[in-house]
Amino acid sequence: MLLETRVSNANNKEFYKKKIKLTENLASIKQMCVILLRNGIFFNLILCLTEKSKKPKLIDILF
């Protein structure tokens, strides 16, 4: 399984995208969110869980 993160600004322009394995430490994503928020950037973080046999599941987290 892969965890795909996409961060976009209010205009829905994507400026950060990263795919990580679920076995990796997810703290890096939280750290990224904190850094962006401290800099006054408001964004949508979309987490996409993908499996080979299933369609992607999107989870929107609004900040």
- C-alpha separations of 51 from 21, 23, 28, 43, 63 in Å: 11, 14, 22, 26, 26
How many whole angstroms separate alpha carbon 8 and alpha carbon 44? 6
Q: Is the pTM of this model over 0.95?
A: no
How many whole angstroms separate alpha carbon 37 and alpha carbon 58? 22
**What per-residue confidence (pLDDT) applies to 15?**
56
**What is the count of structural domains for the chain?**
1
How many whole angstroms separate alpha carbon 52 and alpha carbon 2? 10
Q: What is the pLDDT of residues 11-57, one digit of tens each?
A: 656 555 665 554 445 566 666 666 666 665 555 454 444 445 555 44
Range of the domain at 11: 2-62
